[in-house]
Structure 1
């Protein structure tokens, strides 16, 4: 299958839509407010270290950072937050410049340290406080191209947990203008397919920019009626496309100074009916010279042309197709003769789920609620998260899961993309993801299992297989990624437990190694 850059049209000497770069912010008190308008159905889809001790700045940041930021950083300001001692595969990062006359191998297009980027010291401080010590492979290539002036569009494809979020957040922070006339004007916008992912990105932005005293990050996600009507004045706005569009149209969000538009999980955003339309409408409401940045772990063929039109004349950074699967995740499957056996197998696996944290992915909201009901009735503590719950309920559920208060979460695909919870060591595909036409959906499968094995740690995914159709789907997925999945013995649960515990144990051993002070390599 052709790589992403081979599937995108390559204009000769193309000019980007980017404008001049803004001055770098030199000034900590990241404040958060959540505001928004009526919830659109398309706002989410359900079926588818520093070396020194804590400084005054750090103490102030910890005191002032909102509970939202704390709940989203997944330990980024604590030990192990930099994903210490991780496994980073030796994959090749391919770069295709929009101007074919330029040399993608030029040293100026790759860096080995964050210091080489010429970032403001206060931004570097945020990086160090998150215990990042050097860029990930994708960041080595992406950051110099993102930060070049005049700004250029980018389409970036890289597997989950390789540093995409940090890359586009650094670009945003470096381009913010904190002068008197601009300090209360929105300048950067990040759109995500779900409120959970939007809130998570907010947390990362707040922590990474905690040494910038004038930084204000605000959300444009659906909120309660009592919160509606507020105006957005934060320099960085992160939210879902439907609510963001409504806020701009109601003049609660002044978009005239937006210079950067980021779509996270861009393939899903552009491919989903409703979401794609809203993203286009939002872009049309922004200045014509806005820098467009698209990031995702996957870009299916049918989305590539659309993405290249949404972000014309883009530099592209990709991984080779066969390297997209997460090598640190042990992918297993369990043959279950009947649907009853399938549920019974899930119950047997429950004891292993609570070793760390686990996510059970199902196809529909109905299945999620039914499994939650049955498991809770049988004395098993599980939580359920689907698009059926209102925003406040969803926030409580995901924050409880992040904090470890709940260990097992049943979810639809609303949680498949981008959500980073470092304690997740096991993902169960109760239902395999399909494309709505009876075929396997390898991209969603990749996003699902990417919820474990975060930042190169070891993780386990188990797919429960029942009947000829699911057998065919698991083969489609394994063939797509050119991998071999390991079958588990359905009638030997002692052996099943031994296999899974062995992998999970190696995950915990890695965490212990991290706490002992292993070098940090990579993060979000």
Structure 2
């Protein structure tokens, strides 16, 4: 199996461990009405959504759901052109990177497991991170790694390399923000370590009960913060002083979920001072940095060099409309003039998305509908069908605004403009939405529907933020439309 055919998100399978009586539940359990809010520092926080002001029909972005969705739909490594920047704790120390897994001098059974999963060579993040994670003496690491870049496989390999199979106690802890993400990580570890017959994995997740005081014999334990904290302190299943590697995955999601940050910090305080600490996050916002500095002392840092917010290959326009019916007619005119491979259309509410999908279907288009009332697995299925070209149009709410790469998308339509709960332009979401087109250097089009003075104000705010003029488009003017192409 080639690197390109390997799915990081291992297809849902039964996790077989003695301390795991039943992990057969599907990822559909990851549900919950969360809302994105800001604390006094402007950091993103997810809280139970009372839906005040936004209405019950709105799909706010749930970071944990989005992370799981990305894992489920990944079928290849992301071929990122983003350079990796390495900041060493000791600048005088030689900087090592590897181009092959043989250079890491892995145990033969572990190397066999790596190759059986389809890895031929390390990904870009793995090239720099693995030598640090496997170094002796152990080194702490803070790493920025987006979904699909190989970070789960990297720290899974580090944990499997780290444990002493003859010691029947917990040596490695891995904290994930949700049940489903913990299971996803565990499945990667189990598959990679399938030839390491004496290394076992246990799951510290809600519902997995053990008798108080009975120690866990599995060398690697994956779990959520609250249950892991109970296992280390309340129930005495794990002696935290014997743990020699601690991995905190999805740190930005962890910090965003109320309570998880404090629980993770309390676990950290129970560990010995010489425990190796590894932290991974897709983003490095100020809140993540502050947390990382607390729990990962004297760390090496690997981060992605910031790419400029480039929209050069995406042509943006706005269209003046009077009503949703007028928007639909403008959309039909776009389809009648432009050569469109596939299109993604974003709506603010589930109700609007359902209405638009029905109108487009009635008009003869192959339409897929995606919204937050669907389970994560159902969303992954819809995206796979769209990616495979079974449907040419995807109508969605914000649940699909981030991280979904479909090369054939040539048009993105903001049927409703992205706004935050204060009614201001949500510039980050706008960038993520229109970034679904123009992938991999291709040209793309983004069309924004404006139906009120408020909507025009949003366009003006977006123009100011990105310092880029968005021209007006008249979709009924065939000459103008042809010139646009």
The DSSP-based 3-state class of the residue aligned with 1:294 is: strand
Offset of residue 315 of structure 1: 0.8
| 1:96 equivalent in alignment to 2:87 | yes
The change in CA–CA distance for 1:96 and 1:237 in structure 2 (over 3 A counts) is: same
Q: Out of 475, 478, 481, which is 1:491 matched to?
A: 475
The change in CA–CA distance for 1:252 and 1:142 in structure 2 (over 3 A counts) is: same
Deviates most, 118-127 or 264-273? 264-273
The change in CA–CA distance for 1:47 and 1:403 in structure 2 (over 3 A counts) is: closer
The DSSP-based 3-state class of the residue aligned with 2:381 is: helix
* Partner of residue 23, structure 2: 34
Offset of residue 130 of structure 1: 3.5
Query: Distance in 2 between the 1:230 and 1:359 partners?
Result: 47
The change in CA–CA distance for 1:119 and 1:435 in structure 2 (over 3 A counts) is: farther
Q: Out of 368, 375, 385, which is 1:394 matched to?
A: 375
Structure 2 residues not aligned, in runs of 5+: 1-13, 36-45, 48-58, 62-67
Q: Out of 193, 196, 200, which is 1:212 matched to?
A: 196
Q: Out of 340, 353, 357, which is 1:371 matched to?
A: 353
* Partner of residue 248, structure 2: 263
The DSSP-based 3-state class of the residue aligned with 1:34 is: coil
The change in CA–CA distance for 1:378 and 1:431 in structure 2 (over 3 A counts) is: closer
Query: Distance in 2 between the 1:275 and 1:397 partners?
Result: 27
Deviates most, 153-162 or 488-497? 488-497
* Partner of residue 54, structure 1: none
* Partner of residue 162, structure 2: 175
Offset of residue 429 of structure 1: 6.2
On the 8 A contact 1:372/1:384 being kept in 2, the answer is: no
Query: Distance in 2 between the 1:126 and 1:148 partners?
Result: 21
Query: Distance in 2 between the 1:255 and 1:370 partners?
Result: 53
Structure 1 segment 228-307 matched on structure 2, within 5 A: 229=209, 235-242=219-226, 244-245=228-229, 251=235, 254=238, 256=240, 257-271=242-256, 273-307=258-292
* Partner of residue 154, structure 1: 141
On the 8 A contact 2:174/2:249 being kept in 1, the answer is: no
| 1:111 equivalent in alignment to 2:105 | no
Offset of residue 189 of structure 1: 0.8
| Alpha-carbon RMSD | 5.2
The DSSP-based 3-state class of the residue aligned with 2:320 is: coil
Structure 1 residues not aligned, in runs of 5+: 1-28, 49-68, 503-524
Once the two structures are superposed, residues 56-106 of structure 1 have per-residue CA deviations (whole angstroms, 9 ceiling, x without a partner) of xxxxxxxxxxxxx9x966575xxxx456xx5x42x4432212234x34xx2
On the 8 A contact 2:316/2:447 being kept in 1, the answer is: yes
The change in CA–CA distance for 1:152 and 1:344 in structure 2 (over 3 A counts) is: farther
On the 8 A contact 2:110/2:196 being kept in 1, the answer is: yes
On the 8 A contact 1:342/1:464 being kept in 2, the answer is: no
| 1:337 equivalent in alignment to 2:328 | no
Once the two structures are superposed, residues 305-355 of structure 1 have per-residue CA deviations (whole angstroms, 9 ceiling, x without a partner) of 33222322211112322x26699x964545243462556777899999x97
Query: Distance in 2 between the 1:175 and 1:495 partners?
Result: 66
Structure 1 segment 32-111 matched on structure 2, within 5 A: 33-34=22-23, 47-48=60-61, 81=76, 86=79, 88-89=80-81, 91-100=82-91, 102-103=92-93, 106-107=94-95, 109-111=96-98
Query: Distance in 1 between the 2:85 and 2:377 partners?
Result: 40
Offset of residue 385 of structure 1: 4.9
Once the two structures are superposed, residues 268-288 of structure 1 have per-residue CA deviations (whole angstroms, 9 ceiling, x without a partner) of 433554443343244345555
* Partner of residue 65, structure 2: none
Task: Count matched residues.
Answer: 415
The alignment's TM-score, normalised by the length of structure 2, stands at 0.63
On the 8 A contact 2:319/2:475 being kept in 1, the answer is: no
The alignment's TM-score, normalised by the length of structure 1, stands at 0.59
